[in-house]
Amino acid sequence: MIAPYLVAPKVVPVLDPGLRPAVLARRAFEAEADVPVGIALEQADGSVFRFSMTVLAAGHPNESANAFFLERYVKFLLWAFGGWRVWVDGPAGLAEGLAAHYRDTAVGRFDSEIIGERIYDHPITVVASRHLPEARSTTAPLGRHLEGCRIGFDLGGSDRKVAAVLNGEVVFSEEIVWDPYFQKDPSYHHDGVMDSLRRAAAHLPRVDAIGGSAAGVYVNNRVKVASLFRGVSKEDFEARVKNLFLDLRREWGGIPFEVVNDGEVTALAASMSLKANSVLGVSMGTSTAAGFVTSDGSITTWLNELAFAPMDYRVDGPRDEWSGDLGCGVQFFSQQAVGRLIPASGLEVDPTLPLPEKLKQVQKSMAAGDDRARRIYQTIGTSLGYAVGHWADFYAMEHLLILGRVTSGEGGDVILSEARRVLDVEFPELSAGLKFHVPDEKEKRHGQAIAAASLASLG
């Protein structure tokens, strides 16, 4: 029984009063829980990350809530940190119930297929054990190479950006609208990226290196899973998408060519701009992208896919169109969130418009001083405050960068103001130590491109 733990927030989202923040529910649950549970996530390269939580003792009247809170906790861990084998050291039956979730439910099977099979080449496997493997992991320097003639690109769901960078200075940049999500022919994606690269190359005396960011998971420049290619059949994905960027590198003469998740480049851009580390970057665009730069300026093998990480535990929360799960970040921090909130706001926006056009209508109304649009941004900001409280339990962050199309204009200021208000009210210690950042217009135009261009080393 989870109802007793679904705590109403002190700061209520004006257009989404039913929100039941994960961070508040988890803390209410663990205030009554005293049985320790150890969890370890194992990745394909042998990296192991260890975590712990507590559950209710046998015989507690709400003991049935244990399975829910374990699954939600592990769900967050899997999408934030990654792994295919889940080790559980806890009361009898917990691991078996979790294994059944990944085997027997649609949401569990989605996670097992995407995270387990497509990213780590194994279905998610749950192991009950009194002896968890020892923690071990690696980090690696990320980017910051600015010498020479470089191209940086960023592939989003509604546009692709490219920039020509000469010794760290942007000499050309361009943004082109495209619609990659449901294109069945991978030639659309290949030709679009190649077109942008050629446009940038025309403004450089030569091309020494190419770096890119894109939504999805990329390992050694191979596409493991990415919503940009969701319209492509499995057969074409294997034959023509998985090695897309390796093929592009070959077509550019084998020069240094690196592609990583767009969230990682977001965090890198922030770290480079702020000259600081311990940065969590969150981009609110077509989806929700996130990345983290550690205290030593490196990245880890974490996934940081906060679009799929649950932050709302209500049983009737907004449903993600792809995974089918409830309460995931993408429904709160993206163009999808704006589209979801428009009806509740009372704004009259044509429901048949694509999400980028709906966002433009909301931005136009916001610029005109329409309070209905302001309430959309206030709601996103309130939700963000509670999500930050949740994320901070897992990420040792000192800086939070918020960017993306949803944060453009005055609406972005409202989002941050509301998020800060939540932190002041609910999480004052976190609020005192966390610095919020929004890129200025120059950084918005060029920061991501420069960071992407800096990924590949010439040495």
The CA angle 392-19-339, to the nearest 5 degrees, is 100
**pLDDT value at position 64?**
96
What is the Cα–Cα distance from 355 to 177, expressed in whole angstroms?
A: 13
**pLDDT value at position 6?**
97
CB 375 within 8 A of CB 362: no
Tens digits of per-residue pLDDT, 414-434?
999 999 999 999 999 999 999
Q: Is 1 exposed, middle or buried (0-12, 13-18, 19+ CB in 10 A)?
A: exposed
> Does residue 403 register a pLDDT over 90?
no
Domains and CATH numbers, the chain: 33-128 (no CATH), 140-264 (3.30.420.40), 271-442 (3.30.420.40)
Average pLDDT score over the chain: 93
**pLDDT value at position 446?**
67
Of 412 and 442, the structure prediction assigns the larger pLDDT to 412
Instruction: Please name the helix (run of DSSP H) or strand (run of DSSP E) that holds residue 262, with its range, or none.
Output: helix 262-274
**pLDDT value at position 444?**
63
Tokens matching residue 400: 């939070």
**pLDDT value at position 405?**
87
Tens digits of per-residue pLDDT, 13-39?
999 999 999 999 999 999 999 999 999
Tens digits of per-residue pLDDT, 154-180?
998 888 999 999 999 999 999 999 999
Q: Which of 66-75, 262-271, 450-459 has the highest mean pLDDT?
A: 66-75
Q: Which of 258, 263, 333, 246 lies closest to 299 in space, CA to CA?
A: 263
**pLDDT value at position 140?**
66
- H helices of 105-186, where? 106-111, 120
What is the Cα–Cα distance from 98 to 392, expressed in whole angstroms?
A: 25
> Does residue 438 register a pLDDT over 90?
no
Give, as one character, the DSSP assignment of residue 163.
Answer: E
CB 197 within 8 A of CB 249: no
Distances (CA, A) of 314 to 13, 16, 19, 453: 14, 12, 7, 42
What is the Cα–Cα distance from 308 to 297, expressed in whole angstroms?
A: 25
Tens digits of per-residue pLDDT, 443-454?
665 677 788 999
What share of the chain in percent tops pLDDT 70? 98
Tens digits of per-residue pLDDT, 205-218?
999 999 999 888 88
Tens digits of per-residue pLDDT, 190-247?
999 999 999 999 999 999 999 999 888 888 899 998 889 989 999 999 999 999 999 9
| 401, β-bridge pairs | 281, 437
Instruction: For residue 213, give the 3-state DSSP assignment.
Output: strand
**Which residues lie closer than 8 Å to 232 by C-beta, 6 or more apart?**
183, 184, 185, 186, 240, 241
Q: Write the single-letter amino acid at 49.
A: F
Q: The pTM is what? A: 0.88
Half-sphere exposure of 327 (CA within 13 A, CB side): 21
